[in-house]
Amino acid sequence: MAKTPDQTIYVLNGPNLNLLGTREPETYGYATLADVEKLCTEAAVQFGLIAHCRQSNHEGVLVDLIHEARTRQAVGIIINAGAYSHTSIALHDALMAVKIPTVEVHISNIYTRESFRHHSFTAKAAFASLCGFGIEGYRLAIAGLAAKIGAKTIGDKAQA
């Protein structure tokens, strides 16, 4: 049976996140992007959701994916825009335009790092922002998004 669009969330990862596991492991840990995607898929399933995971090093591609989320009637977006969080008005504007509940995630605590990382354009377009939890931040973001949109855990649905 095909899943309906109202069950889909987009998990978008920006530049250099394809290098997780090897890029600055002292900051980002040893988990890979495949580990992140597996975590997100498993976390989403607990709420009856489907995680559509995508990564791009290109700002315009990320904007297109945000637009695609709207076209495909996704119920939420989890975004780790990486360095674009701190520079991209285009990502901010795309998130504002599509009006899809969004959670921003950062693996590291951006507020303990360089001062240029302390400002986030994407956070201003999200209803919540998480940083510093490592890849577990994605699981927390999905749980928070699920609560925001009223998705219940599979066990809760069976009892309802």
Kindly report, residue by residue over 71-114, the tens digit of the pLDDT. 999 999 999 999 999 999 999 999 999 999 999 999 988 867 77
Known active-site residue 30: no
pLDDT recorded at residue 119: 78
Tokens of 152: 């219940």
Could you tell me what percent of the chain has a pLDDT over 90?
77
Give the distance, in angstroms, between the CA of residue 12 and the centroid of all CA atoms in the same chain: 5
- Determine the pLDDT at residue 60: 98
Q: What is the CATH number of the domain that holds 95?
A: 3.40.50.9100
Contact of 111 with 131, CB cutoff 8 Å: yes
Question: Residues 52, 84, 106, 138: which is the catalytic one?
Answer: 106
Structural domain of residue 30, as residue ranges?
5-159
Please check the confidence at residue 49 and state whether its pLDDT lies above 80: yes
What is residue 156's predicted lDDT score, i.e. its pLDDT? 56
Whole-prediction pTM value? 0.90
| 28 assigned to active site | yes
The neighbouring-strand residues paired with 105 are: 130
Tally of CB atoms within 10 A around 2: 4
Q: What is the DSSP string of 43-91?
A: HHHTTT-EEEEEE-S-HHHHHHHHHHHHHTT-SEEEEE-GGGGGT-HHH
Whether residue 148 has pLDDT greater than 90: yes
CB 55 within 8 A of CB 15: no
Total domains, the chain: 1
| 116: Cβ contacts below 8 Å, ≥ 6 apart | 86
Please tell me what DSSP assigns to residue 23. Answer: S
Catalytic-role residue among 28, 52, 84, 138 = 28
